[in-house]
């Protein structure tokens, strides 16, 4: 029905950090063991947006050379590079429209919880253009 009133939220597991012991990787961005499913009829105490996603950084480059020809005619050569450093910008660890990020509706831990499966930006792209104006 589109309502978010009954969203199941987990509880924090006592003494367990949400950060993986070996550091964050795409295979383990957060520690799913840091969360437990609340008992039936109870709402978990974990708030919204408590986990930090991967950072996003990209460098784009554009080079333009204008060459005047005779009269009003000009030629423009343009080179554009997107994601110049070809940095992998990882997506968030889950993007489930049902809101099932760690547990399913029955309270079972989802095996892929904490994993990143995609990037949020494309790999390096280059384009070149030649423009003739008259």
Q: Which of 15-19, 32-36, 40-44, 68-72 has the lowest mean pLDDT?
A: 40-44
Q: Quote the mean pLDDT of the chain.
A: 87
> In terms of pLDDT, which residue wins out, 133 or 111?
133
* Res. 1: pLDDT tops 50: no
Q: Is this prediction's pTM over 0.75?
A: no
Distances (CA, A) of 55 to 24, 52, 67, 134: 12, 9, 40, 45
CB-CB contact of 105 with 8 (8 Å)? yes
Beta bridge partners, 11, equal: 36
Q: What is the pLDDT of residues 73-130, one digit of tens each?
A: 999 999 999 999 999 999 988 755 555 678 877 888 888 888 998 999 999 999 999 9
Distances (CA, A) of 10 to 13, 36, 61, 91, 112: 9, 6, 44, 22, 16
Question: What local confidence, expressed as pLDDT, does residue 4 receive?
Answer: 52
> In terms of pLDDT, which residue wins out, 6 or 126?
126
- The Cα–Cα gap between 110 and 94 comes to 11
Q: What is the pLDDT of residues 52-81, one digit of tens each?
A: 889 999 999 999 999 999 989 999 999 999
Question: What local confidence, expressed as pLDDT, does residue 14 receive?
Answer: 93
């Amino acid at each position: 029905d589109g309502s978010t009133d009954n969203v199941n939220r987990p509880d924090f597991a006592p003494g367990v950090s949400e950060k993986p012991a070996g550091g964050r990787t795409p295979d383990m961005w957060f520690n799913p063991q840091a969360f437990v499913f609340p008992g039936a009829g109870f709402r978990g105490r974990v708030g919204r947006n408590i986990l930090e996603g991967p950072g996003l950084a990209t460098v784009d480059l554009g080079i333009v050379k204008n060459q005047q020809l005779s009269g009003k005619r000009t030629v423009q050569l343009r080179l554009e590079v997107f994601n110049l450093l070809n940095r992998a910008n990882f997506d968030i660890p889950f993007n489930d429209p049902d809101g099932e990020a760690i547990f399913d509706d029955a309270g079972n831990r989802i095996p892929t919880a904490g994993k990143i499966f995609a990037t949020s930006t494309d790999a390096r792209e280059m384009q070149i253009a030649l423009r003739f104006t008259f």
